[in-house]
């Protein structure tokens, strides 16, 4: 399954110790395009993909596996990335780079012009 959207947040890296050694995971939040934009939390495991080099605002296409597991009569669903393609880098907004343009000057009224008001 593939999910396409904009990277809106990178969560802190999590590490731990398991039966097979040390593990590392980072979750990213992707906002899908559309009339009703949905956000998806995707887990990136290990060092397979370099999430640190991705900037927030970048458009991504992510191949994921969706898996649910049961624990104590509750079900938990994980969305795990196995391939990430960067479609476009983030675009800085104009307001971040340049100051806003100055307002136009007010109209000038000279007193020696004839008054053309009907009253």
Is 30 inside a domain boundary? yes
For the record, the structure tokens of 48 come out as 């397979």
CB-based contact 42:69 (threshold 8 Å): no
Domain total in the chain? 1
Per residue of the chain (119 residues), give pLDDT as tens.
Answer: 999 999 999 999 899 988 888 899 999 999 998 888 899 999 999 876 777 788 899 999 999 999 999 999 999 999 999 999 888 876 555 445 556 667 777 766 666 666 666 66
Q: What is the pTM of this model?
A: 0.68
Is 96 inside a domain boundary? no
The string of DSSP letters for 60-103 reads EEEEEEEEEEEETTEEEEEEEEEEEEEEE-----HHHHSPPPPP
Q: Using CB atoms within 10 A of its CB, is residue 28 exposed (0-12), middle (13-18) or buried (19+)? A: buried
Query: CATH code at 18?
Result: 2.40.50.140
Is 27 inside a domain boundary? yes
Is 44 inside a domain boundary? yes
For the record, the structure tokens of 63 come out as 């191949």
Q: What is the CA radius of gyration of the chain?
A: 26
Domain that holds residue 45: 2-89
């Amino acid at each position: 399954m593939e999910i396409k959207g904009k990277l809106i947040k990178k969560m802190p890296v999590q590490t731990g110790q398991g039966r097979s050694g040390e593990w590392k995971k980072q979750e990213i939040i992707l906002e899908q395009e559309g009339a009703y934009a949905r956000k998806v939390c995707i887990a990136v495991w290990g060092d397979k993909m370099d999430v640190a080099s991705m900037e927030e605002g970048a458009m991504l296409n992510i191949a994921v596996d969706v898996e649910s597991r049961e624990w104590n009569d509750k079900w938990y669903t994980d969305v795990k990335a196995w391939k990430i393609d960067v479609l476009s880098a983030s675009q800085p907004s104009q307001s971040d780079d340049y100051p806003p343009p100055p307002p136009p000057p007010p109209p000038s009224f000279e007193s020696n012009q004839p008054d053309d008001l009907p009253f």
